[in-house]
A and B are shown apart, each in its own frame.
Chain A
Amino acid sequence: MSVLLWVAVVLIGGAGSVVRFLADGVVGSAAGRDFPVGTLAVNLSGAVLLGLLTGLALGHDQALLAGTAAVGSYTTFSTWMLETQRLTEERQHGKALVNIVLSLAAGIAAAALGRLIGLQL
């Protein structure tokens, strides 16, 4: 467990968070702000990526850097929950429910799809 590895975790984690912010902004401004599509897009694309990495059977260090650090920081659970709670506060219960069910169901499907692709590579 080297210092260099953890320096890389830190730098990649910062970069993954910035990419999430930018992707969320691009998708959000294209799709409108009625529904948190930006977070959904980030989380589903991240689930495909992490599924793919799982399928590749990487070594410990590569999995830590590409999976835990890069894709892990790119996706977010906290914003997903915040946006859902804010939707219910605005009495948009249908949208809040769709945000939970769609993210979860499509997220598992996305991870499964990614893994399938990874196993083929």
Chain B
Amino acid sequence: MRRVLPRVDRREIAAIFVGGALGTLARAALAEAFPHAATAWPWPTFGVNIAAAFALGYFVTRLQERLPLSSYRRPLLGTGLCGGLSTFSTMQVEILKMLEAHAWSLAAGYAAASIAAGYAAIQLATAMVRRVRVRR
């Protein structure tokens, strides 16, 4: 029989679950603590997304290029924690609500700032890791 799913490593799945649970808890707690109107800047989503992008750039670069191969750090910290902390869907629905409220410049500014800052965060974290020379 043809295998539909790629080979599943139970410990890898467990690491993603734990990381994702913690990331989601932090994101949900911030969203609950700082509710905002549809036409206000969504600081909770913006904050977790940029922080998660920075952390993911740092973890992935360090794990791939600096540290010895480890099977469970990437799923725990990258796929789990950063993936659970950041969210794409909430950002899209926030932009949709801004557009529906005719807050055009807010929608455009929020989308542009998220992408620019998210990209810059990855770039910065990657450069920071690479600047440190590999110690042998």
Chains A and B bind each other? yes
Identify the A interface with B (CB < 8 A): 1, 6, 9-18, 20-22, 25-26, 29, 43, 46-47, 49-51, 54, 64, 67-69, 71-82, 84-85, 100, 103-104, 107-108, 110-112, 115
18 A-B pairs with CB atoms under 8 Å apart are A10-B21, A10-B25, A25-B6, A29-B6, A47-B89, A47-B93, A54-B93, A54-B97, A67-B90, A72-B24, A72-B89, A72-B90, A73-B27, A73-B87, A81-B53, A81-B118, A107-B92, A115-B96
Task: From known contacts A25-B5, A85-B123, infer whether A14 and B93 are also in contact, taking CB-CB under 8 Å.
Answer: no
Q: Say yes or no: B121 contacts A18, CB within 8 Å.
A: no
Question: In the bound complex, do residue B24 and residue A17 qualify as a contact, i.e. CB atoms below 8 Å apart?
Answer: yes
- Closest Cβ of chain B to A100, distance in Å, is 6
Contacts of A49 in B (CB 8 A): 89
Minimum distance in angstroms from B2 CB to a CB of chain A: 12
B121-A75 in contact (CB<8A): no
Contact residues of B with A, CB < 8 Å? 4-6, 8, 13, 16-25, 27-28, 31-32, 49, 52-53, 55-57, 60, 75, 79-80, 82-93, 95-97, 99, 111, 114-115, 118-119, 121-123, 126
A96 to chain B, nearest CB (A): 9
4 closest residue pairs by CB, A with B = A13-B24, A17-B20, A14-B21, A14-B17
